[in-house]
Amino acid sequence: MPEGDTIFRSARSLSRALAGHVVTRFDTQFAHLSVVHDQSPVTGRVVEAVEAHGKHLLIRFSGDLILRTHMRMHGNWHLYRPGERWHQSRLNARVVIETANSVAVAFDVPDAEFLTRTALDAHRVLSSLGPDLLAEAPDIGEAQTRLRHEPDLPIVEALLRQDLVAGLGNVYKSELLYIARLHPDTPVRAISSDALTTILRTAVKLMRLNVSESALAGGGATRNTTGRMNPRERVWVYRRTGKPCLTCGTPIRTRRERDSRTTYWCPGCQGDATSAAFA
């Protein structure tokens, strides 16, 4: 599943291409979107803005219409020039938004809906999201408060709960716990306020670095959490199963979680499950 920084980058690219332009064509494979389009056409509307909210992407059109999409595991947005060959099959194009200069295509996006501003404010999922770490001024205090409301939850699960803190995914989950030298099974109650604040602030710092213009200009398409330029050392533990820890040399371990995601950690730097369970 794309992480918050990936959605942020997509929203920024879509905004630069579409914002301020009139929609000349709208197409979709979603019947519920087609019904809205038939009754109140998207064509002829102006794209007012494209924004990221955690892992949700919002495209705002004139006339109080908002398209919300969520990528889930395999969805992604592509941008093309009119007439340019698409990199994926048209059969996988779930939504197409075209202007005079650009074509935005949502491939394999499983979750999409039209909303009004009122419906957006009352949206069950969006209204319950925790603080967005890529917001202009993320509320670290509120994020910590929400995490504290789940004291017995292992920190590895808590960081992925979008109602506690929005935007973090599988990569940052593992990387942040390594940087904090915390075993993934450490319960939230066992983590000091200072340590929890440091984790959240580190998350903000890393995510901002990975969406910065300078990172993109320097070839930062690949996420970097170590600050190292060696392509083999861009992350501390993620997808480094069995490889030596970059700090202590201990082989990196991995396991599948209940949600089918994979967690990576270093037993040498982060301790073992026994010590975490009794923390």
Tell me which of 146, 161, 234, 261 is the catalytic residue.
261
Count of CA atoms in the C-beta half-sphere (13 A) of 254: 16
Tokens found for residue 229: 């330029």
Q: What is the CA radius of gyration of the chain?
A: 20
Tokens found for residue 205: 């710092």
Tell me which of 55, 94, 173, 240 is the catalytic residue.
55
Element (H, E) at 142: helix 140-148
Contacts of 151 (CB under 8 A, 6+ apart): 187, 188, 189
240 is catalytic: no
261 is catalytic: yes
Rounded to whole angstroms, the Cα distance separating 68 from 143 reads 24
Measured CA angle at 56 (ends 184, 106), to 5 deg: 120
228 is catalytic: no
Which amino acid, one-letter code, is at 139? Answer: D
CB atoms within 10 A of CB 217: 8
Tell me which of 2, 131, 138, 184 is the catalytic residue.
2
Cβ distance 138 to 167 under 8 Å?
no
Which amino acid, one-letter code, is at 156? Answer: V
2 is catalytic: yes
Tell me which of 3, 98, 157, 175 is the catalytic residue.
3
**Residues acting as catalytic residues:** 2-3, 55, 261
